[in-house]
Amino acid sequence: MDVVATRLDRSRLPMWAAGGLALVCGAILAFSGWTEWASRNSEMRNAETDLGNLARSLTQHVEDTFELADSLMRGVVTALETDDGKPGAITRLQTILKSRKATLGRVRGVFAYDEKGDWLATTEDVTLTNYNNSDRDYFVHHRVSADRSLLIGRPVQSKSGGQWVITLSRRWNHADGRFGGVVLATIDVAYFAQFYRQFDVGQHGSISLVSRDGVVLADNSEPDPKRPGGPAVEAIPYHPAAGPLSFRRFGEKSERIGFYQHAQRYPFLVLATRTEADVLAAWKRNAIVRLSVLMCLVALVIAIGIFLVKQLLQRQQLAAALAAKEENFRLLAEGSSDIVTRIELDECIGYVSPSTMRVLGWHPSQLLGKRAISGVNPLDRPQLQEMLDQIKKGIVDEARATYRMRRRDKSEIWVEATIRATRQPDGTLDGFVAVTRDVTQQKTLQGRLETLAIEDGLTGLANRRRFDERLLEEWGRAYREKTSLALLMIDIDHFKAFNDTYGHPAGDECLHTVAGILADEALRSSDLVARYGGEEFAILLPNTDAVGCARLGERIRRALHDARIVHDHNPPGFVTASIGAAVCRPGFERSAGPASLIEAADRALYAAKDGGRDRMVMAGEVVDLPASKAPATVPA
């Protein structure tokens, strides 16, 4: 019954594959649609954020401009009220305003009027007797209202220059409190319009400076020679002081998003808007491209799926022939001491010989249907996967690899596997056969031999060969990455006398102890401590500057003091060391090489010895110098 059920399941495999393919394609399309919608919303949020930042920045700009004008007007009001009635007051004020004209900056002009609206003084080059401003709205407001606060008026056409200007005005009084007149500052509407056109808010975007009563004082549109400005949106809330807006202007097809920012000190706000069409234009273009590519990929997946379903049908037709062939294969595999594995085209195990119980601890039935590389160490899987891919592609028919496998008891062993392709009579690849043997003992022996080749047998440190290899590697890395490379050369003081006095076994123990101290002080995994030869040691310090190198050298010197290894023939009475240090930056010292770093550290070491031993000397930068001229050194 089980065999019949298995065959029925396999007969339905093409139908399941087709259903799975349809489900995957539907999921891809649904996910893509959701992603595009999320991308659209993100574009809208980003645009709203950008408009908010722009509105805040421009509000601060306008406040600074108005504050400049207001400070000028306050000064004129103070001058008028202080000198009211004094001889020559107006003449002095006119002289002051004329002198300030060159420093007005954004402010167009400053004007002073008496209680009748006649011009008293101005920064403009005009004849004062020709003009009277008593008919202006701001003048009428100040005349009838005792409020002395700043008034921002509607844009008006300047009588002196003819251009449209924004007016800022303050009332000034006579000494007895009577209305004395008005001080006025003007700012060109064109100044703000030109400034706002510098910001990209899309083809149909707008930036508007709006009064609290909803009148546009200036915007980024092309100027109207008859009258700038006009009504803004119908309602902009005063509280909160800032916020987003969404509305549609009359005659526009696209919804408009915007952000307004009320000024904190003056009665105006800045409104920045963009149409949704402008905001989403780039997103729409990209979305069309992405959806087109996606549809092509889905069509390709469907085509591949149809092809695979056909292959499944063909595979069912070959299953009977393959079963007879595998029966013969089992007879041979079960008599082998090596693991013989049959791997299907989907890289799952179709058969494994009984020897897997002895080698890996798994019963063959527990491995059937599992991926062939599931028990392989993750670091070795790419190598094995590449071999299978090459055999599948027909690049090779046989491949061999050595890798680690996990046993049932969680331990790991090294195995060597030979993998061959198996083909049907027509030459079509139908799977693989792998013969695997345990080579753990051979691998362990090989590892020991490799360790002996790069490790000093007495101290356990890296030997001279390993040091030379790492020096070349780290020099190349420092050259590419433009980093520094440091080297400490350490020589035990009067070590020959130590050997002669205490004997070579004691000398070996001394070397072993010093090696342990050096290894303990070199804290980073990238540092290399090596026995350079005899009683001389070397520490290679990648990415280390002179300060770090000197600090480590001093730690080593102090650690030797603390160890107190008795040495009667050394002046302190215990073992000390002379240390030479050098630091270089290969990327900037192109004429230098690895040998120059060793030479510099050696010279510093000899300088430490000549200076009395038990000290560290730091060489200067590594440069090509004549052999007779030692590099400059400084004591550590």
The answer to whether residue 54 is domain-embedded is no
For 534, the domain range is: 455-635
Count CB atoms within 10 A of the CB of residue 497: 13
> Hey, how many other C-beta atoms are within 10 angstroms of the C-beta on 472?
12
Q: Are residues 585 and 465 in the same domain?
A: yes
Tell me: do 436 and 469 sit in the same domain: no
Residues 170 and 205 in one domain: no
| 137, part of any domain | yes
Among 155, 186, 217, the domain boundary falls at 186
User: 544 with 609, same domain?
Assistant: yes
Report pLDDT for 206. Answer: 87
Residue 570 parent element (H or E)? none
Residue 12 lies in a domain: no
Rounded to 10 degrees, the C-alpha dihedral 378/380/382/383 comes to -170
Q: Is 415 helix (H, G, I), strand (E, B) or coil?
A: strand
Number of neighbouring beta carbons within 10 Å of residue 382: 11
Instruction: Strands of 276-343 (E only): list them.
Output: 339-343
Q: How far is CA 249 from CA 17, 206, 284, in A?
A: 54, 12, 23
Residues 540 and 600 in one domain: yes
Among residues 278, 293, 323, the one where a domain terminates is 278
Helix (H) or strand (E) holding 306: helix 276-333
Q: Specify the pLDDT at position 228.
A: 53
Residues 149 and 242 occupy one common structural domain: no
- Render pLDDT for 476-504 as a digit per residue (tens, 0 to 9): 999 999 999 999 999 999 999 999 999 99
What residues does 417 pair with on adjacent strands?
401, 436
Distance of CA 95 to the CA centre of its chain: 59
CATH number at residue 270: 3.30.450.20
Q: Which residues in the chain land under pLDDT 50?
A: 1, 3-4, 8, 229-234, 621-636
Q: Is residue 182 part of a domain?
A: yes
Phi, psi of 429 (to 5 degrees): -65, 130
On whether the CB atoms of residues 587 and 481 are closer than 8 A, the answer is yes
Last residue of a domain, one of 138, 157, 186: 186
Q: How many domains does the structure of the chain reveal? A: 4
Could you tell me if 422 and 463 lie in one domain?
A: no
77 and 201 housed in the same domain: no
CATH code for position 592: 3.30.70.270
373 shares its domain with 263: no
Q: What is the pLDDT of residues 316-351, one digit of tens each?
A: 777 656 666 666 555 555 656 688 888 888 889 888
Residues in contact with 305: Cβ distance below 8 Å, sequence separation at least 6, in sequence order: 17, 18, 21
Cis peptide before 237 (omega within 30 of 0): no
CA distance 290 to 294: 6
Residue 263 DSSP one-character state: -
The predicted pLDDT at position 624 comes to 36
Answer yes or no: is 56 within a domain.
Answer: no
Same domain, 78 and 219: no
Verify that 173 and 258 share a domain, yes or no. no
- Residue 236's pLDDT is what? 58
Q: What is the C-alpha to C-alpha distance for residues 542 and 554, in angstroms, rounded to an integer?
A: 18
Q: Does any domain span residue 618?
A: yes
Is residue 58 within 8 A of residue 196, CB to CB? The reply is yes
Residue 304 within a domain: no
Residues 264 and 377 in one domain: no
Whether 616 maps to a domain, the answer reads: yes
Q: Please choose, from the candidates 163, 166, 167, the residue with its C-alpha nearest in 3D space to the C-alpha of residue 182.
A: 167
- What's the chain's length in residues? 636
Nearest residue to 579 via CA among 520, 535, 527: 535
pTM assigned to the model:
0.44
